[in-house]
Amino acid sequence: MKIRALLLGLIAAGITATAVAADPIVIKFSHVVATDTPKGKAAEKFKELAEKYTSGAVKVEVYANSTLYKDKEEMEALQLGAVQLLAPSLAKFGPLGVREFEAFDLPYIFDGYADLHKVTTGPVGQMMLSKLEAKGIKGLAFWDNGFKSFSANTPIKTPDDLKGKKMRIQSSKVLEEQMRELKSLPQVMAFSEVYQALQTGVVDGTENPHSNLYTQKMHEVQKNVTLTEHGYLGYAVITNKKFWDGLPSAVRTELEKAMVESTEYANTIAKEENDKALAAVRASGKTEVYQLTPAEKLAFKKALAPVHKKMESRIGADLIQSIYKETGFDPSKL
C-alpha cells in the first residue's frame, strides 16, 4: 500500500510540475453583470477555486459588466474560441436554436427555488444542457440569479397597470409573448443599455431580480417596483466544447470540481444577495416597493397562464409537461 501511495503521489506531482512548467492555460470568463451580483461573485469564486485546484496550471481572467463582450456578441465569441467561459441568461439559448431553454422563461412555472432546483439539478436539467453540444457548446452548470419583479414609473398592482407600457426584455419569444399577454410593448435591448433607456424614457419599465435592479442603479430611474415574482432569471455556465474536451484530463477533473463548488456557492448566495439588494432599494428612498396581496398575485398568474399553452409548439409540450411533473404546477387549477 505504501508503494502504491508513493507512486500515486509521484504521478500527481509529475502532472503538477509539468503543468506549472508550461505556460498556464488561460480561461477568459466573460459576463455582462456587475462583480457584486450573484453571478459576478460566483465567477470570482470559480476563478479562485480553479487556480487553487490546478496549482497554477490554469489562469482564469474574469471580465465583468460587458467589458469584453456584450449580450449579442458573447455567444459567437465562445463558438469561435475567442472566450472560453460564459454564463449567459437562459433566455439566450432560444435564439441559438435550442428552444428547450425557453421553458425557464415561462411565467410562474416555478413557485420558488425548491421547485426550480428539482429541474436544474435533475434529469430534465441535464437533458437540456446536453442539447447544447450540437452547437459546439458544453453545458457545465446552472447558476441562479433570482425571481423577477416588474418596475415602472407608475404603480403596478394589477396586470392592467402594465397595459401600453414599453417594457425592456431580453431576446426571448416567450418574454415577448408574456408582455403581449399583459398588453405591454416588448422592447428587446442589451442589458448594458437599460439604465440609459429608462433614464431617457426610451422604455417605461423592465423586469429584473433585485440584485440586477440595484447593482445597475435602475431603481434610481424607476419610481415603482412590484414583487410579482412572475419569472425566473438564471444562467447556464457554458464552455467551448472543443476547448473543454482538449484539456488535459487531470486539469479538466480539477476544473469540474471547482465548477461544482462554485455552483453550490452561486445558488446559496443568490437569494441572500437579492434580499440584500431589495433592502437597499427600499432604504434608498428612490423607489416605492409594493408587495402584492395573494389575490393580486393570483390575478397576475391567471393573466399570464395562457403563455404556457401558446408556447407549447415552440418549446415542446412534452418538455413543459415534464417540468409540471417535477414541480407539481398545474395552470388549469389557477
Predicted pLDDT at 18: 43
Predicted pLDDT at 71: 80
Cell 459588466 -> residue:
65
Predicted pLDDT at 37: 86
Burial 144-157 (b: 16+ CB within 10 A, else e): bbbbbbbbbeeebe
Predicted pLDDT at 155: 98
d(CA 216, CA 267): 21
Which sequence spans correspond to the domains of the chain? 25-333
Going by C-alpha positions, the residue among 15, 11, 5 that lies closest to residue 252 is 15
d(CA 118, CA 81): 32
pLDDT over 70, % of the chain: 94
Q: Is the CB of residue 189 less than 8 Å from the CB of residue 166?
A: no
Task: Show the low-confidence residues of the chain (pLDDT under 50).
Answer: 1-21
d(CA 89, CA 95): 12
Give phi and psi for 231, each to the nearest 5: -150, 160
Q: Is the CB of residue 18 less than 8 Å from the CB of residue 248?
A: no
Encoded amino acid at 170, one letter: Q
Burial 267-306 (b: 16+ CB within 10 A, else e): bebbbebbeebbeebeeeeebebbebeeebbebbbebbbe
Domain spanning 25-333: CATH superfamily: Bacterial extracellular solute-binding protein, family 7 (3.40.190.170)
Predicted pLDDT at 14: 45
Predicted pLDDT at 13: 46
Characterize the bridge pairing of strands 25-30 and 58-63: parallel
Predicted pLDDT at 11: 36
